[in-house]
Structure 1
Amino acid sequence: MSVDLKPKTLKRKNFKKLSLNADAGVAPQATASPPPSQPFTLDKPTLQRAPSAGNLISQMASLELGVEFKIDIRAQDLRTIQELGAGNGGSVSRVEHIPTGAVMAKKVIHIEAKEAVRRQILRELHIMHECDSPYIVSFYGAFINESSGDVVMCMEFMDCGSLDRIYKKAGPLTEEIVGHITVAVVEGLTYLYNEHRIVHRDVKPSNILVNSHGQIKLCDFGVSGELINSIADTFVGTSTYMSPERIQGGNYTVKSDVWSLGISLLELLLGKFPFDMANGAVGPMGILDLLQRIVNEPPPTLPAEDTRFSPVCRRFVDRCLYKEAERPSPQQLINDAFIITSRAKQVDMKAWAMSVQ
């Protein structure tokens, strides 16, 4: 399926079965747009949204503590089901929106009143409101925690978790599964760049999510890299997927995302991070040594003696890890033989997702 570049519409498929207030101008982002004459099916209580993305951004511009967004998602309406993870930048939990019964992922971001972080949060919220792609996690709303000042965002809950969790639990993924994952990620990156002129900046297995329908979606673009404070956490969590030109101080480009995709594909296919960490060193100095290797050594490849991988798969990974000048963009990768072959293969992604849930 090629990326749909037709004019966007606010009449979107109600994937999560959340009905809209008649006065709400912005519908939840979801996976497809119904025909203009097709009405929404209202089969759950109303979940209101902000009147418009522009109004939300205007309200958010000052990030005044204790001021809640005018979105009908409030702290008291969220019941925590499960804590999913936490770090220096915030936490993620699975919650139920009590008025609708919808299960969501709640992301809490500690802003610490830093202007740069505030700008990044505004950027992500604006982009998430604008996104209309089956390859990007849906955004439902946000508010400010009155007591802490933290930003709380509610998003689509992907019930099978991240590819990082999946491969560490189930082992290396097959080329057929990775092929379908690759199609989704390349489509998502192409959409973000073609429609919004942005790069993801943080492509890695932990930011590629799966649900029990077998859908693959990108999350955490725009803001996550700005929220990690320590050198060690920054390098371990993100910079190990960074392109050589970015490590050397160059600007992020859409081709930087392609490098990160290539490293991620190697990790999923091999069942381990493709650069060996000497003596298990994961501290700042060990990571700095690794970054020097990424810059100075030839890029990693699939083992030549491993017969599990087809020539088209090998070539695709190699193309992702070319030096910047020769490296293709996501748009150029759409017509790669590996993408075309993967689209044509009949793979039951739903059955696979259920098996690793």
Structure 2
Amino acid sequence: MILERISILGYKNIEQAELTFSPKLNCFIGNNGMGKTNLLDAVYYLSFCKSHNNQVDSQNIKHDADFALIQGYYLLGGAAEEEFFCSLRRRQKKQFKRNKKEYEKLSDHIGCLPLVMVSPSDSDLITGGSEERRKFMDVVLSQFDKDYLHALIRYNKALQQRNALLKSDMQADDSLYELWEEQLAYEGHIIYAKRKAFIEQFIPTFQYYYNFICQSNETVELKYESQLEDENQVALLKQKRERDKILGYTTAGIHRDDLDMRMDDYSIKKVGSQGQNKTYVVAMKLAQFDFLKKAGSTTPILLLDDIFDKLDSTRVEQIVKLVSEDNFGQIFITDTNRDHLDEILKDLNSDYSLYQVEGGGINQLK
């Protein structure tokens, strides 16, 4: 899959941009706060119908504008170029179209444009709560498995309904609880089985990328943790029901799943240095890319946002070797340090484009 060109109007600090991209490597250089990440976020939005770092759509519109437009033109394997269009307007529902035809449901679009983004906020995978780690699994699986995506949507709706009952001042009949608990158990079993199978396939690739980047004898592990490993969810929900009424929310289910992230038999959250943590999450994202490429029908786009910060020269060199290989398709990379980009470009035997980003303006240098 190749993003050939993009048109952006009023998205974050980008007033207007019309850009044509290299099918291999696209490098964006500029100081912090100039708009490099915003450009990558516009590409991310076209894949996921939402921002990578701001879930409130109105806040993604340039502060002095009434709307934002993102228009991308892709080659997806067919002969014809395909157009994807997104329109954000204040106090209105966003529009998403493929070849000028609007989607009935945004979920129908997810997976059409597979993408992996590596960014500084990925540190939340280690330092943040379990929600961040569940989101990681959801983002991967939802891009190629529609059954998983739909089960997740139905599970979350049933969870909202049960939570509403728990918070209600009126006494609800047990049969109402049983209705939502049975749906939570049914959808939860699908999600649990698919997450478990995914992590089992994912671990060897993740360990390979970590070892390649760090070039040391550090051992990393990743373990999927779920209450469903040892419990029947219907029985568990019934058992927790009275306690959940006091708390006002559901305390059992796959929405409590987590990933145990370890290095040398210890929690990486407790023992990892900044460089080790960064290497850990970069390896996870590269393994995510590898998994999506093998599972899907097209090569994902890879977005690398300021990934060299907090890494020593050896790890930077190893990442440069990886992204220069033919295994990766189209890559977008940002950095404040021109030296990092020049190091990648000198070893690249294919086409590339280079851009300068300043104050929301983007100028092509090559």
Structure-2-length-normalised TM-score: 0.29
More helix by share: 2
Larger RCO (alpha carbons 8 Å, 6+ apart)? 2
More strand by share: 2
Tell which structure's C-alpha radius of gyration is larger. Answer: 2
Structure-1-length-normalised TM-score: 0.29
